[in-house]
Amino acid sequence: MTSYKELGLVNTREMFAKAVAGGYAIPAFNFNTMEQMQAIVQAAVECKSPVIMQVSKGARAYANGTILRYMAQGAVEYAKELGCENPQIVLHLDHGDSFEICKECIDNGFSSVMIDGSHLPYEENIALTKKVVDYAHAHDVTVEAELGVLAGVEDEVSSAVSHYTKPEEVVDFSTRSGCDSLAISIGTSHGAYKFTREQCTVDPQTGKLVPPPLAFGILAEIEKQLPGFPIVLHGSSSVPQDEVDTINAFGGKLPDAVGIPEEQLRQASKSAVCKINIDSDSRLAMTAAIRKHFAEHPDHFDPRQYLKPARENMKKMYIHKIMNVLGSNDKL
């Protein structure tokens, strides 16, 4: 048994309370590699931002859960080495799909877990979430639950259609399950292809797809039902078109990749939305930098030569999100 407290990590309780009160959102960046971890920590330290480093089922399969946990411990020490006296770093399990996975993570140094029972019938979702909450709270670990279904593909989580969260269910669900935060579905979507061509309109000047707006009416209704309760948005990459263009210009093929416009995420950050999940944008930033580097330096074969610009490009993206979209800078 390793408590996250021994690793210098924190849970989300105080962080979310401050974010909701302060009208900003905490970035939740997925990580699988050392370069992503370094870029996240550098960005958080430079911006004086709290940060959630999250691990998906796919990340555990790719990098190994134990290694990722030690990387999170390393992230805390690295942040201190970079001059941050009191880093606020959460190690979070993204889309835990069983009590057993959540327990394993809680027993191994995670400070926050998500139990995603959104695919289950309502009562079963409550029962599963409550079981995880009871175990987690006994170890002072916070729990994110999900109500409503997001469309799209994220590692092994996928759904063809979305079902918006029903505002009339949120009070009953959060009270009976005891969850600390709630992921809702208001039109965000997993992956780099969040919307089909048919769902979008086309910008006549650029020819780029313009996605449909998020359901802010539903978010407002949820806030009315649950004043001050921490709300989470998944699938909130904005799929920057300059990165997509770079990838396509240097041999990639990502037609019609489209994300959530940053203006809408900025608006959501000011509400009770206090955690915004960003994964695809990091993948795009890394891939764009590597493709460009390979095209410009066909003689390079030392991984450090192309991973360094990849890390720099991810760091630039993380800083942009913190400073210009979520507003979590200068909060340490």
Catalytic residue among 94, 180, 279, 281: 94
Nearer of residues 154 and 281 to Zn ion, judged by Cβ: 154
Q: Are strands 142-147 and 51-55 parallel, antiparallel or unpaired?
A: unpaired
Helix (H) or strand (E) holding 210: strand 209-210
d(CA 110, CA 133): 14
Smallest gap from residue 233 Cβ to Zn ion (A)? 9
Structure letter (DSSP) for residue 302: -
Joined tokens for residue 83: 């001059």
Nearer of residues 278 and 307 to Zn ion, judged by Cβ: 278
Smallest gap from residue 130 Cβ to Zn ion (A)? 21
Pick out residues in 302-321 that bind Zn ion (CB under 5 A). none
From 29-37, 71-79, 150-158, 263-271, give the range in contact with Zn ion by CB under 5 A.
150-158
Structure letter (DSSP) for residue 7: G
Smallest gap from residue 155 Cβ to Zn ion (A)? 9
Cβ atoms of 83 and 69 closer than 8 Å: no
Residues whose CB is less than 8 angstroms from the CB of residue 268 and which lie 6 or more positions away in sequence, other chains included: 25, 214, 216, 219, 233, 236, 276
Cβ atoms of 106 and 113 closer than 8 Å: yes
207 φ/ψ sector (left φ>0, alpha ψ -120 to 50, else beta): left
Nearer of residues 258 and 290 to Zn ion, judged by Cβ: 258
From 5-13, 58-66, 227-235, 293-301, give the range in contact with Zn ion by CB under 5 A.
227-235
Q: Which of 60, 130, 234, 292 touches Zn ion (CB under 5 A)?
A: 234
Nearer of residues 7 and 143 to Zn ion, judged by Cβ: 143
From 65-73, 137-145, 191-199, 226-234, give the range in contact with Zn ion by CB under 5 A.
226-234
**Total of chain residues touching Zn ion, rule CB under 5 A:** 2
Smallest gap from residue 297 Cβ to Zn ion (A)? 35
Joined tokens for residue 68: 């990722």
92: contact with Zn ion by CB under 5 A: no
Whether 94 is catalytic:
yes
Smallest gap from residue 96 Cβ to Zn ion (A)? 11
Pick out residues in 154-173 that bind Zn ion (CB under 5 A). 154
Nearer of residues 193 and 250 to Zn ion, judged by Cβ: 193
Quickly list H helices, the chain. 13-22, 34-47, 57-63, 65-81, 99-107, 122-138, 170-177, 216-225, 241-249, 262-269, 280-296, 303-320
Active site residues: 94
Binding site for Zn ion (CB under 5 A): 154, 234
